[in-house]
Amino acid sequence: MTARAKQQLVSIVPKGTGSTCRSVIGTISKLITGAQVRQVRDAKIVDVRVHGDTATARILGATTARLTKTGGHWLISGGFQAP
């Protein structure tokens, strides 16, 4: 995940959750339902569009993730949505 994406993720969780990626993921895991866990676990990428060092990946029944190629690796750079 890019630094900006980590900041975006931290910004959508309740205040007081923490400011690290680890604390945010821990909070999210406590807040989501079993159905939401399955949706993430079973996510299907249905469309990917690459534009140089950026890309989008559409996730069936969910959102579109934004990706950025950094140091030869594709990192999530955005696309988070508050529940």
User: Looking at residue 52, what is its pLDDT?
Assistant: 97
User: Looking at residue 49, what is its pLDDT?
Assistant: 97
Q: How far apart are CA 10 and CA 20, in angstroms?
A: 7
Residue 70: in which H helix or E strand, if any? strand 64-70
Predicted confidence (pLDDT) per residue in 57-75, tens digit: 998 877 899 999 999 999 9
Predicted confidence (pLDDT) per residue in 19-30, tens digit: 677 787 788 888
Q: How far apart are CA 21 and CA 43, in angstroms?
A: 21
User: Looking at residue 51, what is its pLDDT?
Assistant: 97
Average of pLDDT values for 39-54?
92
Question: Model pTM?
Answer: 0.67
